[in-house]
Structure 1
Amino acid sequence: MGNARYDVVRRDGLVIPAGYDVKGPCERPNCNTEINRGLDALCGDRPGIPEHGCGGYFCDKELYTAPEGQTGWRCTDCAGTPQDEPETEPQDDPAAYSPTPHIPRLLTEMCIAESQTGITGRAHDDYRRAQRRTVLLLRAVIADLLALARPEDTRAAGDAARAALAVRHHDWLTRGISADEAREWLRAEYAHWEQNPVHHPRCPGGCQGSGIVESIQVWQDDGIPLDVEPADCNRGRPQDPHLSDCVCHGSGRIPVPGHPHEMVRCPGETIPGPGQPQPAPEPAYAAVGTSPWYDEPPF
């Protein structure tokens, strides 16, 4: 049966069945949650009589990440964490992600990557493995974002740490780290993933895998594009909206100086308020030849 069912001898001499196919109650007093006695419910580094931990089996609410340098999980008593108190260090750091990831886009990316993991005969094994890692990474980032939004929820923090450790396990990183270190490592890996994107044929940004999209640079005042140039694909990430105090008044476009019927992308500058210095106007020349640089050679 392998890891599905086996017998272990505990410190008290009892022989109990264990394995992910064996069901039983959480061993925390007054907790009736039914669990599977697999390694993910074990307090310790191995079944039976572990070197670290008590060897009991607990539900997710009662388990914490092992201390640095150790592996597995620890129950409330072995971790030294009070049962009814949240972790001492809150996880609501506003600078954890900059900018904050857009969860709907992460879900889209994750679903597309998940669909790519099942391709056989048309994709290299390394490609499918990379797509599987993307699924694990984005799933962990979403869990981390939810935990950051609820810093008092220790279970959400534990779920985020476990999801981050699943990515490390996929990368064959076996060194034990704390829950906070796992989440910090996850954020660094996500930043690297964002800076080094792999665009697939069904990229949400519409690049069809090339990483390049056609971007409109100049419009007519009626919205018809006049100039289209290649630009980096942002993989469908929504752009920050322009507010009413922007020079474009929220439209995202401004008139081209000297060409009132043409519009270009707004740089996002705000309109100076009362008492603030106004930008100096550009010199306007009435006719060709009146510019002070008109007679200068081009090079």
Structure 2
Amino acid sequence: MISTSSDSGRVSDAPSDNWVYRVLPRGIWPYAQLARWDRPIGWQLLLWPCLWSAALAANVAAAAGSFDWARLVGHLLLFFLGAVAMRGAGCTYNDLVDHDIDQAVARTRSRPLPSGRVTRRQAKIFMGLQALVGLAVLLQFNLFTIGLGIASLVIVAVYPFAKRFTDWPQFFLGMAFSWGALMGWAAEFASLSLAPVALYVGAIAWTIGYDTIYAHQDKEDDALIGVRSTARLFGERTRQWLVGLYGLTVALMTLSFWLAGVGILAWLGLAAAALMFAWQIRTLDIDDPVQCLALFKFNHVVGFAIFLALVLALFFA
């Protein structure tokens, strides 16, 4: 059982055996918690659209005879570093914006800012350092990709405020978290086409779906303090909405794969993802917070399955 007191140095919604608490000095823990290093699912879900897009572009390049494994691996590594850094910076920014809200929600009041283990000034400095790492990564790409990455900051800046003015904050999260579906393609071709755009919109639908499941953990607290979400909007109709959202994800990814001309193995990966979506919808109990968190995290497996299939398809391109 994780203590929720500030003396424990832990937060109530992070695993007690995470590497952060076994490896890092205790004084670093609050910063690791701000960046969510103790909860890797966030950067993982941010990373998958990047990797999908990079692998999709690689399939197109392979068909044209211009594929380079070293270039793909280099892009994947840069996207990994960028996802960890920018997710950390984004979470720190989000905690700064949501300081008062986090104090009112049981699951979040033990986080570094509301618990007083980090000052706002310290959090801002840490956010800036993470953003600089993200910028250093971004500058390794072509100019088109650099501009595209900078453009995403507008959405990132708006997202923490969305829950205050719309029932669809998950849509804004989807736009931010899915941006990598454009970046991977742009890194390869220094341009965009309909294939990555379809992938991007499909990833937005995916994000709305899995984050709605996640938001059901906080719906009672959210209702008390007036925070809006698709979990509260959909309510008992969440399963029907997920059918539409996950169905749209599969439909748009099908379009993207068809436009890119991927091989049979990639299609098998998408079929596996569709089955996993169906399983989530059938299994979901919106009144079981533990299960909601588990199903949310399961989307990491969905992302991996799609990416792995796209990479395997390269061997038969």
Greater relative contact order, per chain length (Cα 8 Å cut-off, separation 6+): 2
TM-score by length of 2: 0.24
TM-score of the two chains, using structure 1 as the length reference = 0.25
Query: Could you say which structure has the larger radius of gyration?
Result: 1
Question: Normalized per residue, which structure has more helix?
Answer: 2
